Amino acid sequence: MSTTPLDGHELVRTRDRDQVVSAVTKLITTHSMTVRPGGVFDAEINFVALSPSASDKAGLGFFAYGTAVEIHSDPSEVYAVNVPVRGRSAVEYAGRSFSATPHTAAILSTDGQTRMRWDRDYAVLTMTLGRDLMQRHLERLLGRPVARAPEFRPDVDLVSDSAGLVAHVRQIAQLERRMSGATIPATITGQLLSSVMTSMLVGQPHSYSDLLLQPDESASRRTVRAAIELMHDRVADDLTVIDIADLLHVGERSLQAAFRQELNTTPSRYLRGLRLDRVRELLQRPGTTASVSQIAADVGFYHHGRFAAAYRARFGEPPSQTVRDARPERSP
């Protein structure tokens, strides 16, 4: 079995440099490429779109060219989050020079020109995110509009700064492999993209970091009460924290801050607790014949292993024990 990331989504396999430049221009931005002497250009590009909306420009690609190349790219409407798989690329962007390696990723924002020099064995997972998509996500976190999209510091220390970011990118690649070329449901990719963008905006310095991370005085007890009421009413629905914030007409950052201030927890952790309580209630209900996995799925837990671990952590016993206690065998 091939271990190449996204091997079920081949876009280009060629030794034609111009064909590669044309394909990558359509995905990211106009650029030039020079093949450095001493090797054979043999490009492999796999790519999968991650949003049903073409305007989001969201996708994940694997790029390997088989030899050393130099790339000059123009400003773009797309953020390129480059997570190296192997090898090294020298990167120059926004006045900073650094090496992209499996320990250091690169976020190439939309306003500047980029120069990269790939080593012969360099290969990279690249997530693309449209400028408008990122700006909308930032505005949702802030709870207010901004004048322009954020500009990120380009070098990302994967050891200390943004390990969560690369974990999300790799999770998407692994999920694509498990799906064997089938389309990931849009509800799942939407949440994964949201997690990637939140990790970028919270974990990587950018032009709005001070504004985003300053204390939010608008978080209030009333916001928490309204959120809890909504969670109780729709505990089995496929709600995300962003959905709850949108329904309450508050920013996600305000909602997160309110829960930290009032309850010392997060909205997602609180909602997970409600769902676990609901599962326990249904398992203990007299006359219930549905299986544990079916009841868990009905309440929004689709990964049985993670559900069982969370259930045991909350109640000190596995769900199967709750079932045995609630449905004792009848004596003959």
Kindly state the average pLDDT of the residues 165-187.
77
In sequence order, what are the beta bridge partners of 107? 81
Count of C-beta atoms within a 10 Å radius of residue 87: 17
Task: Look at residue 125 and give its three-state secondary structure.
Answer: strand
pLDDT tens-digit map of 274-316:
999 999 988 888 777 888 988 988 888 878 888 999 999 999 9
Comparison of pLDDT for 301 and 207, the residue scoring more: 207
Work out the mean pLDDT of the chain and round it to a whole number. Answer: 88
CATH of domain 10-203: 2.60.120.10
Phi and psi for 162 in degrees, rounded to 5? Answer: -135, 50
- Going from the C-alpha of 149 to that of each of 38, 95, 137, 212, 299, the distances in angstroms are 41, 19, 10, 13, 37
Task: Give domain limits for the chain.
Answer: 10-203, 215-265, 277-326
Q: Which of the pair, 50 or 187, is modelled with greater confidence?
A: 50
**Within its chain, how far is the Cα of 269 from the centroid?**
18
- Provide the 10 A C-beta neighbour count for residue 94: 15
Q: Which residue has the tokens 């590009």?
A: 45
User: What class does CATH assign to 277-326?
Assistant: mainly alpha
Please write the tens of the pLDDT for every residue from 116-168: 999 999 999 999 999 999 999 998 888 778 899 999 999 998 876 566 777 88
What's the rounded mean pLDDT across residues 21-41?
A: 94
Has residue 189 got a pLDDT over 80? yes
pLDDT of res. 332: 35
pLDDT at 45: 97
Task: Give the tens place of pLDDT for each residue, 59-102.
Answer: 999 999 999 999 999 999 999 999 999 999 999 998 899 999 99
* CA dist 80 → 60, 179, 208, 228, 242 (Å): 10, 24, 19, 37, 24
Q: What is the mean pLDDT of residues 160-183?
A: 74
Using CB atoms within 10 Å of the CB of residue 189, give its burial: 0 to 12 exposed, 13 to 18 middle, 19+ buried.
buried
pLDDT score of 330 more than 50: no
